[in-house]
Structure 1
Amino acid sequence: MILDQILQQKPAKKKSFSEDKSSEKPIRSVAKAVSWRIIGTLDTLLISYLLTGKVVLAASIASIDFVTKMFLYFFHERLWNKINWGK
């Protein structure tokens, strides 16, 4: 059923951002990436500390995790913003 709906959708006419309020500005994706990564990094820090018992090692793991996953999330958000399905 869902696949039928996707296949029947006509491609939307390209609009500028000001005309298309369902899309997001890149700065919003950056803000969402940073806020989500803070939450995720605190989780990684806690789990790493519980597993290793070492604050320095846990902080190292969490800092690498913060940077790499923030970039991955940003590009993931921008890609999904281009997909019309479900909008």
Structure 2
Amino acid sequence: MEDKKRTLTKALTWQAIGFVLMTAINYFYLGSLREGVGLSTLLTLMGLVSYYWHEKLWARISWGRLTKN
């Protein structure tokens, strides 16, 4: 199991990378930096929350974990 701070830090760094990439794609597709940033912000926040809870759920599941001998 991971410390909550570690899980949150992983989620934040992953979403920061995704945010930059999404903003570039959205800007190219929409032609507006403001709309691209707005859409990216919404998607990043949704992704951050879902990733965090997904990680916490899987931390409770023991299936597939290897045990240390």
Residue ranges of structure 2 left out of the alignment (5+ in a row): none
From the CA coordinates, give the structure whose radius of gyration is larger: 1
Paired residue type of 2:16: I
What do residues 2-51 of structure 1 show as CA deviations (whole Å, max 9, x unaligned)?
xxxxxxxxxxxxxxxxxxxxx11111110011000001111111110110
Percent identical pairs in the alignment equals 28
Give 1 or 2: higher helix fraction: 2
Superposed CA RMSD: 0.9
Number of equivalent positions: 65
Corresponding position of 1:15: none
Residue ranges of structure 1 left out of the alignment (5+ in a row): 1-22
- 4+ residue segments displaced more than 4 Å: none
TM-score of the aligned structures, taking structure 1 as reference length: 0.70
TM-score of the aligned structures, taking structure 2 as reference length: 0.87
Paired residue type of 2:28: L
